[in-house]
Amino acid sequence: MSIQKPKGTQDLLPGVVEKWQYIEEKARDVCRRFNYKEIRTPIFENTELFQRGVGETTDIVEKEMYTFPDKGDRNMTLRPEGTAGVVRAYVENKLYGEPDITKLYYIGPMFRYEQPQAGRYRQFHQFGIEAIGSVDPSLDAEVIAMGYLFYKELGLQGVKVEINSVGNPSCRAVYREALQTFFAPVKDKLCKDCQSRYDRNPMRILDCKVDTQYGAGAPSILDFLDEECSTHFAKVQRHLTDMGIEYVINPRMVRGLDYYTHTAFEYKAAGIGAIDTISGGGRYNGLVGTIGGSALDQPGVGFGLGLERVLLVLEAQGVQVPGVRPLDVYLIGMGETAENEVARLLFALRSGGLKAEKDYLSRKMKAQMKSADRFAAKFTVIVGEDELSRGTAMVKTMATGEQEEIELSRLVEALKAKLAP
């Protein structure tokens, strides 16, 4: 049997890959305007980075990581997310030495051993940003606004922003106790995962897909925020309102990673099946210290947007995105001398910036014309022995069927002029 791709992965073939390029270009364009610079970190890291960074009690670290010993018996993990690696790179390369805060973005594959379904893969791709070095709530709002603008400019309709505050470690400790008190009477009825979450991370019970009936009436984190946290949260909301970004507060939103403090947010979209969260992020004051040592601690905030989910929404909403760019020119040579000229001309056209192609299968004129059609070429250029003897080529405008003889010496310039908008 032939070998097939691993479960939960995709081949991104021509025809679809152009959509990815378009989405990635939009991401880069938004980052440029918001003054974020690209960073590329390794796809595998020491496992300890994610254990410490993402958190031991998260599903990601407990169940979903691709972890393996390398040949030197080092414990390695394919990155399940981007934040931990970026923070490690920030610390290791002393990016905090810059006079300003550090604003970085990344686009690339992430790996989680999850049950594949629509919008959920084992190798997926994120566009993420991380802004490190400021506690300013306007930065939280900037990050939320950036994701919002990215989706909007791609043409996604009805993307909703949900926000919450998960407080700081001290108000969370009090909230945690309140949750344990609330869930204590039903503890034995909770699913196995939640029974262990009860002691380790009771907030995650609110996020459980199995135990939904027990969460009703649970205390809200928002009632446990101290003054610093509620002021921060109020300021983020004020900035979002001023920017005209609609949001709803979802006090039950629990993100699946342990590093969040203060603002947590998610983007949601309807009509794409069971998964309606298309991405999320939040603030992570304390993570830089966890990874780099407390002396280095710097606050941070960012998001990770799943690109497969962008595509899912684009397709569900029938948004047209550019496909393969058609050919500018298809070149046909009739006869051996003409074929030599075609090879030379093809290179001249391509060097001149045109997208050009020819036949490589020695097919008849008719089959070559068909190829020109299939590539949706704007012009077909035919070089026969007769034209060659006159130093010309026949140029056919495919849209109109109009034909014109043009001197070879000015062919490239003439075609460029015809193609100019």
Give the interface with ligand HAM as residue ranges (CB under 6 A): 81-83, 112, 114, 119-121, 124, 126, 128, 130, 256-257, 277-282, 302-306, 308-309
Give the C-alpha separation, 166 to 206, whole Å.
13
* Residue 277 beta carbon to ligand HAM: minimum distance, rounded to whole angstroms: 5
Given a contact cutoff of 8 angstroms between Cβ atoms, the answer to whether 278 and 310 are in contact is yes
* Residue 254 beta carbon to ligand HAM: minimum distance, rounded to whole angstroms: 11
Closer CB to ligand HAM, 287 or 372, in the complex: 287
From residue 343, alpha-carbon distances to 336, 337, 339, 346, 419 in Å are 11, 10, 6, 5, 21
* Residue 145 beta carbon to ligand HAM: minimum distance, rounded to whole angstroms: 15
Give the residue from 109, 158, 163 showing the smallest Cα distance to 314. Answer: 158
Give the C-alpha separation, 112 to 130, whole Å.
21
Distance of CA 203 to the CA centre of its chain: 27
Closer CB to ligand HAM, 83 or 165, in the complex: 83
Q: Which residue has the tokens 């342990």?
A: 258
DSSP code of residue 410: G
Closer CB to ligand HAM, 82 or 299, in the complex: 82
Structure-derived torsion over alpha carbons of residues 15, 345, 389, 411, reported in degrees to the nearest 10: 90
* Residue 167 beta carbon to ligand HAM: minimum distance, rounded to whole angstroms: 16
The backbone region for 401, taken as left when phi is positive above 0, alpha when psi lies in -120 to 50, beta otherwise, is left
* Residue 302 beta carbon to ligand HAM: minimum distance, rounded to whole angstroms: 3
* Residue 50 beta carbon to ligand HAM: minimum distance, rounded to whole angstroms: 11
Closer CB to ligand HAM, 83 or 102, in the complex: 83
Q: Which element (helix H / strand E) includes 157?
A: none
Closer CB to ligand HAM, 313 or 369, in the complex: 313
* Residue 308 beta carbon to ligand HAM: minimum distance, rounded to whole angstroms: 5
Give the residue from 305, 303, 237, 316 showing the smallest Cα distance to 273. Answer: 316
Q: In the bound complex, which residue of the shown chain has the CB atom lying closest to ligand HAM?
A: 306
Closer CB to ligand HAM, 112 or 378, in the complex: 112
Closer CB to ligand HAM, 36 or 303, in the complex: 303
